[in-house]
């Protein structure tokens, strides 16, 4: 059998003396949506940020174990994190567009990675990205306006457009809908479902319904441990572990 | 049921009173500062009113061929011609000492003014025209009523005899007030009536340009490195503490440092705006670094994270996204520092920018003085007419300051409009 696209083995993460993840072994399959669920503080974000090494930005954070993407050990000393992050994009909980125009927001990644060779190509890529993020129809005539002038849901889709513009292999999303109203959430959920064709998506969510709606696989974390992982349907209808059962029925967390 | 919006509840009355009290205290504080400001401005304006006017006196000058050779206009003795003209008006004056006092009614600059007028208008030659020249400072003070004539004669700058002369000349309509543009276009002088601010103004402008060019790039580079890239360890803590200490060091200490290093060790030209600017930049650097760091710190970290997460290098993330947002704040810090530098005298005294400079400096290597130093020099002068200049020079300094702030605000507006 082939190796899974992302393969975590014995992942331990420490913040100073405090251990946030304990021996996590997790496989994430290509071109599927994997949801990470669990009560607050259980280490979902920590695991997610380990995948694109955003944890490196926290001086006290230390990683031990093995994390391979497409067979490459990403914590090898010779791995360039800049190249890694170009391949593993991230969408944050709070929409954080750059304080620049809508166009510049999407074009920025393309520019720094020199992915286009002409102005028209750049404009085409930006248009494609905004269309893929389902934002184009709403803002086609306001590309020069600041990204911050959009609504929260539009800003989050702008952030998604910005991420997919550079065509990463993996998109990490940390509670991308927690700042959005139900309608905007539904729009983003549709979008995520559509992106599954082209990208491997890992999403952290607090909403069990959301996990059930958009993910194919679900991993349940508790107190820094990976308790259970499996097909979303199985995890929600027939969990193997009692702690999972308690969490999805609302008894812990 | 009690009234839902019962005023007595929650101690509301006392709380509202406290609020009112605070508001009025604030308003009072603002009012007091405004009053002081108005007082200051009015005093300065009144003080400067003398310096913006120039008293001129008309002297009949004999420009016949005996006095001025038409083929050698510049070679004539114009000082003697003016003296001759004055004597002609008061033929009864014969004693040496009296003659000298009579000649003193006209500023020593008068002979040059006459020469310039003749050179620019040769048709004057041959006749005996009335020519307006600058009056002496004592005469000016008297004409403007600044001399108390009730005092005994030996206690005032102008004698009874001189007063008689001046009154007579004035009756003939041969004394007038004109706008003193020379104040803005001349350098300093031993004669208050022709002393101007231009040399000091240019000296200040050159020093501040040097100061800005040195301290702004260095300051924001240091701040950006310390804030965004430097590892958080003992070394950076020590550096941080020391920068904060440096910002509090009295400026005269930087003057001493400049004296021993820039002048003593490197042998740079004394009294030059180059050294002045370097010393001032030592002083402004800590201010700029501290303000720039605060400005960088206020940029939400999520912006930097977003850039890093799509594969920007840390330098790209900082310079493309954090830096532009922080720049207006950095400029504000720079302007605060520059404003301090503009008004500071002590370090400039240490490096010799206190010299008597008549010529407007044409480069940053020529000896120069600066506006606050010039103000200090004039204010310190025993001559009444010089202290009048002080107020006018302060106005020039304030206008300089306001102009600098305006430029900064305009630049900020321009930068901020890009979201
Ligand atoms: N920067 C940090 N410094 C120190 N400890 C941290 C830091 N970030 C997270 N932690 C700790 O690591 C543990 C896991 O945090 P993490 O953010 O991964 O939880 P989470 O599952 O994402 O929670 P939530 O659902 O509330 O976002 C928590 O106990 C938290 O206190
Ligand atoms: Mg989290």
pLDDT tens digit string along A164-193?
Answer: 999 999 999 999 998 888 888 998 899 999
pLDDT cut 70: percent of chain A above it: 98
Please name the member of B232, B305, B316 whose beta carbon is closest to the beta carbon of A112: B316
Q: Is B32 exposed, middle or buried (0-12, 13-18, 19+ CB in 10 A)?
A: exposed
CA atoms of A171 and A191, how far apart (whole Å): 13
- B1 touching A, CB under 8 A? no
- Looking at the complex, report in whole angstroms how far the Cα of residue A110 sits from the nearest Cα belonging to chain B: 10
Closest alpha carbon to A250 in A41, A45, A39: A39
Write down all domains in chain A, each with its CATH number in brackets: 6-248 (3.40.50.300)
Reported ipTM: the value is: 0.92
Pairing of strands B130-134, A88-91: unpaired
Q: Kindly report the protein residue whose alpha carbon is nearest to atom 24 of ligand 1.
A: A40
Q: How many CB atoms lie within 10 A of CB B380?
A: 10
Partners of B309 on chain A (C-beta within 8 Å) are 52, 54, 85, 89-90, 92, 163
pLDDT tens for residues A185-236?
998 899 999 999 999 999 999 999 999 999 999 999 999 999 999 999 999 9
* Ligand 2 geometric centre to CA of A90 (Å): 13
Pairing of strands B130-134, B53-60: antiparallel
Under 8 Å between Cβ of A85 and B403: no
For position B361, what pLDDT does the model report? 86
Q: Kindly report the protein residue whose alpha carbon is nearest to atom 12 of ligand 1.
A: A20
Write out residues with Cβ below 6 Å of ligand 1. Answer: A 15, 18, 20, 38, 40-46, 58
pLDDT tens for residues B196-233?
889 999 999 999 999 999 999 999 999 999 999 988 88
Under 8 Å between Cβ of B304 and B324: no
Cross-strand partners of A14:
A19, A62
Which helix (DSSP H) or strand (DSSP E) does residue B71 occupy? none
- Counting atoms of ligand 1 from 1, which one is nearest the CA of A93? 27
The distance from CA B365 to its chain's CA centroid, rounded to whole angstroms, is: 20
Write down all domains in chain B, each with its CATH number in brackets: 51-180 (no CATH), 198-415 (1.10.3720.10)
- Looking at the complex, report in whole angstroms how far the Cα of residue B270 sits from the nearest Cα belonging to chain A: 48
Under 8 Å between Cβ of A207 and A24: no
Task: Count chain A–chain B contacts defined by CB atoms under 8 A.
Answer: 71
- Tokens in use for A177? 């809908």
CA atoms of A232 and A238, how far apart (whole Å): 10
Angle at the Cα of A110 from the Cα atoms of B293 and A202, rounded to 5 degrees: 85
Q: What is the mean pLDDT of chain A?
A: 92
Under 8 Å between Cβ of A109 and A122: no
DSSP B129-153: -EEEEEBPHHHHHHHTT-S-TTS-G
CA atoms of B370 and B205, how far apart (whole Å): 8
Please name the member of B302, B316, B320 whose beta carbon is closest to the beta carbon of A96: B302
DSSP A122-156: HHHHHHHHHHHTT-HHHHTT-TTSBGGGS-HHHHH
pLDDT tens for residues B287-324?
999 999 999 999 999 999 999 999 999 999 999 999 99
pLDDT tens for residues A66-76?
999 999 999 99
Inter-chain CB proximity B310 and A148 less than 8 Å: no
**Greatest CA span in chain A, whole angstroms?**
57
Residue B8: pLDDT band (50, 70, 90) is low
pTM for this predicted structure: 0.83
Ramachandran angles phi, psi of A48, nearest 5°: -60, -45
Residue A2: pLDDT band (50, 70, 90) is low
DSSP B270-334: TT-HHHHHHHHHHHHHHHHHHHHHHHHHTS-HHHHHHHHHTT--HHHHIIIIIHHHHHHHHHHHH
Partners of A100 on chain B (C-beta within 8 Å) are 321, 418-419
A51-65, B180-194, B333-347, B380-394: which is most confident? A51-65
CB atoms within 5 A of ion ligand 2 belong to: A 45
Residue B419 has pLDDT above 80, yes or no: no
* Ligand 1 geometric centre to CA of A37 (Å): 14
Residue B417 has pLDDT above 70, yes or no: no
Under 8 Å between Cβ of A237 and A249: no
What number is the average pLDDT over the span A82-96? 94
Cross-strand partners of A172:
A90, A202
């Amino acid at each position: 059998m082939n190796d899974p696209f992302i393969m975590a083995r014995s992942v331990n993460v420490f913040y100073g003396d405090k251990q946030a993840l304990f021996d996590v072994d997790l496989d994430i399959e290509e071109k599927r949506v994997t949801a990470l669920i669990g009560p607050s503080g259980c280490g979902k974000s920590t695991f997610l940020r380990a995948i694109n090494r955003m944890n490196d930005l926290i001086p006290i954070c230390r990683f031990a174990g093995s994390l391979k993407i497409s067979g490459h050990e990403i914590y090898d000393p010779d791995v360039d994190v800049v190249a890694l992050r170009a391949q593993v994009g991230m969408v944050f909980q709070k929409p954080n567009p750059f304080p620049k125009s809508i166009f510049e927001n999407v074009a920025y990644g393309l520019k720094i990675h020199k992915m286009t060779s002409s102005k028209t190509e750049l404009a085409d890529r930006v248009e494609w990205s905004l269309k893929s993020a389902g934002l184009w129809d709403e803002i086609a005539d306001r590309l020069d306006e600041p990204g911050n002038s959009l609504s929260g849901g539009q800003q989050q889709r702008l952030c998604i457009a910005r991420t997919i513009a550079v065509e990463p292999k993996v998109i990490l999303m940390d509670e991308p809908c927690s700042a959005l109203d139900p309608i905007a959430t539904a729009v983003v959920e549709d979008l995520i479902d559509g992106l599954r064709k082209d990208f491997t998506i890992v999403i952290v969510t607090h909403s069990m319904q959301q996990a059930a709606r958009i993910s194919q696989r679900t991993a349940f974390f508790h107190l820094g441990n990976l308790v259970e992982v499996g097909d979303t349907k199985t995890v929600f209808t027939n969990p193997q572990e009692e702690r999972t059962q308690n969490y999805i029925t609302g008894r812990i967390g | 049921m009690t009234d839902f919006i019962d005023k007595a509840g929650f101690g509301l009355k006392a709380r509202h009173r406290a609020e009112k009290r605070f508001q009025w205290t604030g308003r009072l504080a603002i009012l007091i500062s405004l009053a002081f400001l108005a007082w200051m401005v009015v005093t300065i304006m009144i003080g400067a009113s003398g310096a913006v006017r120039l008293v001129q006196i008309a002297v009949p000058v004999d420009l016949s061929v005996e006095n001025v050779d038409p083929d050698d206009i510049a070679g004539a003795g114009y000082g003697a011609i003016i003296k001759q003209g004055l004597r002609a008006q008061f033929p009864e004056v014969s004693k040496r000492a009296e003659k000298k006092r009579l000649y003193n009614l006209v500023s020593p600059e008068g002979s040059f003014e006459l020469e310039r007028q003749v050179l620019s208008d040769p048709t004057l030659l041959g006749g005996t025209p009335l020519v307006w020249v600058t009056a002496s400072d004592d005469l000016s003070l008297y004409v403007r009523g600044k001399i108390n004539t009730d005092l005994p004669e030996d206690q005032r700058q102008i004698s009874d005899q001189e007063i008689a002369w001046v009154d007579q000349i004035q009756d003939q309509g041969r004394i007038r007030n004109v706008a003193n543009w020379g104040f803005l276009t001349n350098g300093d002088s031993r004669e208050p009536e022709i002393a101007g601010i231009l040399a000091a103004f240019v000296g200040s402008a050159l020093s501040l340009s040097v100061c800005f060019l040195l301290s702004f790039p260095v300051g924001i580079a240091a701040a950006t490195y310390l804030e965004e890239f430097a590892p958080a360890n003992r070394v950076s803590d020590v550096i941080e503490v020391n920068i904060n200490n440096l910002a509090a060091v009295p400026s005269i200490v930087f003057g001493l440092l400049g004296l021993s290093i820039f002048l003593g060790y490197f042998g740079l030209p004394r009294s030059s705006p180059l050294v002045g600017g370097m010393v001032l930049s030592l002083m402004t650097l800590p201010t700029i670094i501290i303000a720039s760091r605060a400005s960088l710190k206020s940029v939400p970290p999520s912006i930097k994270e977003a850039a890093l997460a799509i594969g920007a290098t840390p330098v790209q993330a900082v310079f493309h996204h954090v830096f532009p947002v922080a720049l207006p704040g950095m400029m504000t810090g720079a302007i605060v520092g520059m404003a301090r530098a503009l008004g500071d005298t002590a370090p400039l005294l240490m490096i010799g920018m206190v010299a008597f400079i008549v010529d407007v400096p044409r480069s940053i290597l020529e000896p120069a003085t600066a506006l606050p130093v010039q103000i200090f020099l004039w204010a310190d002068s025993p001559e009444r007419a010089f202290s009048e200049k002080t107020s006018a020079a302060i106005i020039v300094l304030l206008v300089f300051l306001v102009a600098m702030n305006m430029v900064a605000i305009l630049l900020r507006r321009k930068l901020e409009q890009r979201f």
